[in-house]
Structure formats: structure tokens, C-alpha cells
Amino acid sequence: MNTLMTGNEAIARGAYEYGISIAAAYPGTPSTEILENIAKYPEVYSQWSPNEKVAAEVAVGAAIAGARSLVAMKMVGVNVAADPLFTAAYTGTRAGLVLISADDPGMHSSQNEQDNRYYAAFAKIPLLEPSDSQECKDMVGLALAISEEFDTPVMLRITTRVAHSQSMVELKDPGERPLKAYEKDARKYVMLPAHGRARRLVVAEREKKLAEYAESVSVNRMEMSDPAIGIITAGISYQYVKEGAPGASILKLGLTNPLPEQLIRDFAAKVGRLYVVEELEPYMENQIRAMGIEVTGKELFPPYGELSARLVREKLTGDPGPAVDAPFEAPIRPPVMCPGCPHRPVFYTLKQLKLVVSGDIGCYTLGTAAPLEAMDTCICMGASVSGALGMEKAHPELAEKMVAVIGDSTFMHSGVTGLMDIVYNGGNTTVMILDNSITAMTGHQENPATGKTLMGQPAPKVDFVALVKALGVKRVSEVDPFELEELKQVIKTEVAAKEPSVIITRRPCALIIKNTEKPLEVHDCTGCKMCLKLGCPALSFDEANKTAVVDAALCTGCGVCMEVCKFNALRKAGEA
Amino acid sequence: MSGVTNILLVGVGGQGTILASKILCYAALDQGYQVKMSEIHGMAQRGGSVVTQVRMGDQVFSPVIDPGEADMIVAFEQLEAYRWTHFLKPGGVLIVNDQKIVPLPVLIGAAAYPGSVLADLEQKVSRFVALPALNLATEAGNSKSTNVVLMGALARFMNFPQEVWQKALEEKIPAKLLEVNRRAFEAGYNWQA
């Protein structure tokens, strides 16, 4: 049977068909749907972990124990998981282990554009790059076969266009889910220095064998056509080459670490001018040049952003294709906090109080945009908390006009250790945990505080109050962010306190609750526009009649604008 | 590339572009085409601009449509039509829902919603259809069927048999909403200025 699938769905299908028993991840665009779809196959145990390092360690442990395992993450997640990855590359694994890295050229939903192919080379593990959904599924199987034959973790690297594009996939019946017996082998799995030095030599030997294997593996193949132009490519770039340079000869590489040197030499000898077409860094190009082969790549193609068929055509033939008119000028439509979002009153208050806000990653990062504009920094998961301590150490007076703001899921991901650091090292910073009872930005995933697992089982809930008290925080407040005045007073008090404090704002994400509130109405508006400072998509202003307007179809009746309005012009429908 | 039909569906997060693309892809597959579909999700879902790209033909490589290469654009909102029209091929079809959804920079007074969107588009694009899809959906029985009204309007410009579209609706829409959506599809298909 054939069906249309995204790359992420196809990887999940591959996990099911090729005998994966254990899968773990922390959600992150564009990787999230891999685990969401694996969870639809109850034969595979799947779980959300609190962060990528934990998820990777779960998968490494499962593979060492003898079960085929998979761990998936967005590319910045590999930074978090790099520690277990680099050493698992030495130990190897008893059963197959696949790490999915979902890179994001063009930064559609990421804070940087790192090219994780270098991680595979750095960790000395094989790297596979699929270019459509069928290859995504097939390469899960190939990754497991390589992993087990060469005793190594394997990285399967996708990009946003592969992860989120649908193409045809042939479905097959699942094979068996093998489980090897566990045996103790401390020389292989206890990486103290003496064992590590021995394993390092094994890794060097493995690299030689993999280099030989890369020469003949079927995913590395020539597609000979016009010999005047030869293009070496991989991943989604292959599709752009096929379309943008239809007559060219192609060396399509599916296994890109290690590169097949002899195959590349043979291809180079067959063609006139040799190009490398690859998104982001000159990863293949630099290695090919180091082989002494003349090649053109990044002189033509940018080392940032996404490529396209049009760009390939233009750069290789000089013909950009049809002329394109200048676009009309349209005001931007940025993503915004939803109507009824519990984050909105928090950022409105932080702006009013003119506080420095050390920010973090989640829906609340949208607090950066106008009109809220209440975020000073956002670096990576968890950096709000530890970064605030650094700011305070640099400028001690900042402690009394600064907060760190972090979501519930992000706090568990990597905020806890930062808070421990604040307590331990005598910081005074106030940390706000915005608890909306879900991992919202990536599409509402369960987490250790929601009381439910990925597979739908009930689970204990992390108790944030007990947790932060156990770290040594004495001042812990809980507040409903819709109680605007109370929220403001609590923030003022805690920011002024000369010891660490935590404020937990509690309100579920507006998209996960069944709303029963009626929309608001406008009566006798004075036209002061205070309510517009909330940046609520349900509120606008009628300049002709000098009155605020509520879009009843969007308004959730959360009532935050009622609290902001000094003239009682915004009222619940039916109330005087 | 010849032989490939490129269709862009553009709108605002939450307007149902994804369901619309599923109906379209189902119909195209049923007609024996190779299909690729690409969409970017993530942050943009929170009320931002969304675009879904559908490509169909004998052989499709890239899942992405380049500027100037869309055969048809279905815009679920006026401003989004404005934003994406330069992706249209000369002679391409532009179908616009005349609904306006005002983006936040305009709501807070930091930008202005262009005043003459439909007139500008009509002047620029010869094969131009603007229709009140939201009203037509409401009349059909459910304002959330706006996306299906627009698929009906698109169907007029595609050479798929009617029964293929009907089968696509049956496959992709829950049974209890099917009748409303059949009416919505018909309203879009039959709409004339």
C-alpha cells in the first residue's frame, strides 16, 4: 500500500517496520511529529523526556541493554544531547541506535541555523541524509543495519523541508522487534580513561571499515547524464538539483559520513565541471577539496538559508527562469499570543514595571514583539534563569529590577539547575515560572508536570512549589495571571526582596481548555487606547468613532482588558 | 518544469488551509498524479501567515514552489493574497476569499491595512476571482467550511471529474459534517460575481 506521508510520519513508520522497541524525545520543531506518530504504534514504547540529553541517554541505555532504539530532536537539541552522544560513539551499542537530528535551514522556528552534519563527523558516527519521505522510512532501516553491523550510533539528519513535506511512501508489514540478551561488559560500557583509550582505537578501526562500506552502499549512487556538468548533492538539495538542472550528471549521496572518496574521484573523472550543491555549510565541499579535487560550491550558493530549484538553475545555467514581479507591500502578520493567552497579562505587567526580562524559549518568547516588548534576552532553553544570575553578578543593582521568565516545560528541561545556581551562589533574582500546564509552542505535548505520558498513561505530576523549595528557595508565590493587580503586587514585592524568589503563574493554555466565558462588549469607550497595549488579536480601534472594538468571534472573555480599562468600558456580555 | 501543476494555499493560522490541502491532494492522487505537499508549521500557527504548497504531475521533485511558478493561488484572506501574488505565473489563476483578518501590527496602529487590495489584484491578475467564501460557508450552514467553499471555487479551474472531489470530501471530512461541506463546496463551485 502507498500513502502520502510527511518525512516525520515516514520516520515513525520506519521505527515501526524496522523493529524499534524504545523511542524517546523532547519536542522541538521540526522534529516533534516523529514521536507523536511513533506513539500511534503501541508496539513501540515511546516517551517524552524532560530534555534531549535525558532522551538520548534513555535510548543509549535501551540499546546497550539490547533493544533497537531511536531518539529524535531538533538540531539545537543535539547540543544538549552531545555529551552522551560523543561517548556512546566510543562504547557502541548492543542493538541498533538511531539519533534523528532535524535541522532548520532558513530558521523557520529556531534560534540558529547550525548544520549538524558536523556533529556526525565530530562524534565519528555514520550520517544518513534522506531527500524525501520514502527515503526517511528506508533510512531508518539502513541506519539500524549500519548501527548493528559496525557497532555505532547512527545519525539520521533531516531538514525542515524533508520533515514537513509529504510525498509517497510504500508501507510494508513490520518485521520482528528483536531483543538481545543483556550481558555485563565493563571494558566496553564503562568509559573510564583506560577503557576509553582502548575504545578510541576501535573507533579508528571502525572509521576505516565505514569508509570502505560507503564506497558500495546503494544510497550512494551516480545518475549519469550529460557529462559536462557533474553535481554532488544530498538531502533535499537533490530534489532542487533534479528540477533545476535536469540534464546534469549527479552523484547522490545518502551516506555522508564518512564520504566515499573513491566514488567521488570516479565521478569527478567522468564529468567536466564538478559542483557541490548542499544547504548551509560547505560540509562535503571542504572534504572534497581536501581530497585535491577541484570543485565549485559556496562561491555560487549561500552558506545560509534554504536552496531552491530556481537558485540551482540560476547559478548553474545563468538562467533564473521566469521573471518575477516585485511583491505588493503588505504589512507583516507575525505569530501572536492567542486571545485569552495567560502569558499576555504577565508581559503587560512586566512592561508596566519597566523590568529587565531575561527570557526563554516557548510561546512566551512572543512577549518580545510590539506592543508588549517585554523581553531583553533569549538564547537557549533554560538560559533565562542562569543568564539572569550572570547579569546580576555583572550589575548587582539589576537584581532589583529584573526577572527571569520561563515556561513550565522549559523549566524542567534545563531551568532547574540554573535556579539551583542562583540559590547556591547567593543570587537575588526572581524567577517566574509561567505554568500553562502543557508544552504549548510545539503543539501541546505532555510533560512531567501534566500528569500524563506520551502513550496516554497517567503519571505523577512534578510539584513546582516543593521542587523549588527543595532547591533552597524560601520565597515562593503562586498567582493567577488573570488577577492583574495581585500579579503586579507580587512581582513588585518579590523583585524587591533581597533573596532568591520564585513566582509561579498558573493558568492553562487558552487552546487546551473548554472556554465557557462570554465575549466582552464595549460601552461608552473614551478612546484612551489603554486596552490596545495588551496586543490582543480580539481588540482593535475604530478611528472614525474613537472607540475600542471587540471581535466577538475571537474574544474568549478572559477579562484581562476589563482590568486594564480605567473607565469600565469593557464588560462581560449581559453585565451592566 | 512542464507537466507539473503548482498550487499555493495561503492564509492565516487557524483558517483550515491544511484540511483544504488534504482534500486537494486526495483528489490529485486519485487522478493518478504524483503529489508533493509542503507546509511550514511551528510558530506561525499562532495567528501568523501560513502557506501550503501542493505540486502534482507525472514526476515531481522539489516540494517547494518558487516565485513566479504557481499555476493557481487560493488565498483565504485578502492581505495574504497581496503578500503571495508574485508567486503566480503569468496567466495563472488567483482565487481570493474577500474576508479581511487584520494583523496585530495594524490592530495596534503600527501599520495600515492596504486600502485597495482587491482592486490592485484585479488589475494585475487577468484570471482573478474574489468571492465571499465566509458568507457562502455561513449560508451553507457552518462558517468553518470557508476552506471547502474555496476548494469548490478551485475545482472550477481543475480538470478533475466531480465525483473525485465528492470522494475526497467523503474521505477527509467527518461524516456528521459532510452534508454541510458538500453544500459549501457546491456554493464555491457555482459562485459567480
Domains present along chain B, CATH in parentheses: 4-190 (3.40.920.10)
pLDDT tens digits along A478-488? 999 999 999 99
pTM of the model: 0.97
Same fold, A343-506 and A520-572: no
Determine the residue of chain A that is closest to B61 in CA distance: A239
Minimal C-alpha gap between A244 and chain B (Å): 9
B112/A537 Cβ within 8 A:
no
SS (H, E, C) chain B: CCCEEEEEEEEECCCCHHHHHHHHHHHHHHCCCEEEEEECCCHHHCCCEEEEEEEEECCCCCCCCCCCCEEEEEECCHHHHHHHHHHEEEEEEEEEECCCCCCHHHHCCCCCCCCCHHHHHHHHCCEEEEECHHHHHHHHCCHHHHHHHHHHHHHCCCCCCHHHHHHHHHHHCCHHHHHHHHHHHHHHHHCCC
The residue in chain B having the minimum alpha-carbon distance to the alpha carbon of residue A538 is B107
Partner-chain contact A167 B25, CB within 8 Å = no
Contact: A308, B104; criterion CB under 8 Å: no
A1 in contact with B at a CB cutoff of 8 Å?
Answer: no
- Tell me which chain A residues have a C-beta less than 8 angstroms from the C-beta of B68: 321-325
- Please give the backbone phi and psi of residue B36, each rounded to the nearest 5 degrees, phi first: -130, 145
Q: Tell me the backbone φ, ψ of residue A435, rounded to 5 degrees.
A: -95, 100
Closest partner residue to B42 among A29, A243, A539, by Cβ? A29
A210 CB within 8 Å of a chain B CB: no
pLDDT digits (tens, 9 = 90+) for A121-132: 999 999 999 999
Residue boundaries of the structural domains of chain A: 2-215, 221-317, 343-506, 520-572
Helix A261-270 vs helix A193-216: angle between axes, to the nearest 10 degrees?
30
A321–B66: do the CB atoms touch at under 8 Å?
yes
Torsion region of B101: left, alpha or beta (phi above 0 gives left; psi -120 to 50 gives alpha):
beta
Q: Are strands A547-550 and A539-542 parallel, antiparallel or unpaired?
A: antiparallel
Q: Is A222 on the interface with B (CB under 8 A)?
A: no
The minimal CB distance from A166 to the residues B37, B102, B114 is found for B37
CATH classification (class only), A2-215: alpha beta
For A335, the closest of B43, B62, B69 (CB atoms) is: B43
Give residue A42's pLDDT: 97
**A315–chain B Cβ distance below 8 A for any pair:** no
Instruction: For the domain covering A221-317, report its CATH number.
Output: 3.40.50.920
CATH of A520-572, one of 3.40.50.150, 3.30.70.20, 2.60.40.10, 1.20.140.10: 3.30.70.20
Name the CATH topology of A343-506: Rossmann fold (3.40.50)
Identify all chain B residues contacting A337, using CB atoms and an 8 Å cutoff. 46
CA distance B190 to chain A (A): 28
Residues from chain A contacting residue B11 (CB–CB below 8 Å): none
Cis peptide upstream of residue A30 (ω within 30 degrees of 0): yes
Does A534 contact B at CB distance below 8 Å?
A: no
Residues in chain A: 576
Helix axes A309-317, A237-244, angle to 10 degrees: 50
- How high is the ipTM of this complex? 0.95
How many Å apart are CA A103 and CA A109, to the nearest integer?
Answer: 10
For residue A544, give the C-alpha cell. 472614525
Strand-pair partners of A522: A570
Per-residue pLDDT tens over the stretch A158-191: 999 999 999 999 999 999 999 999 999 999 999 9
Element (H, E) at A45: strand A45-48
Q: Tell me the pLDDT tens digit for each residue of B88-141.
A: 999 999 999 999 999 999 998 899 999 999 999 999 999 999 999 999 999 999
pLDDT at A321: 80
Contact between chains at A370 and B90 (C-beta distance less than 8 A) = no
A527 close to B (CB below 8 A): no
Kindly report, residue by residue over A270-327, the tens digit of the pLDDT.
999 999 999 999 999 999 999 999 999 999 999 999 999 999 999 998 888 878 889 9
Taking an 8 Å cut-off on Cβ atoms, the answer to whether B63 and A325 are in contact is: no
Contact B43 A29 (CB under 8 A): yes
Cell numbers representing residue A335 in the block: 505569530
Measured CA to CA in angstroms, residue A289 lies from A259, A296, A356 at distances of 12, 9, 48
Q: Spell out which residues of chain B touch residue A369, defining contact as CB-CB under 8 Å.
A: 104
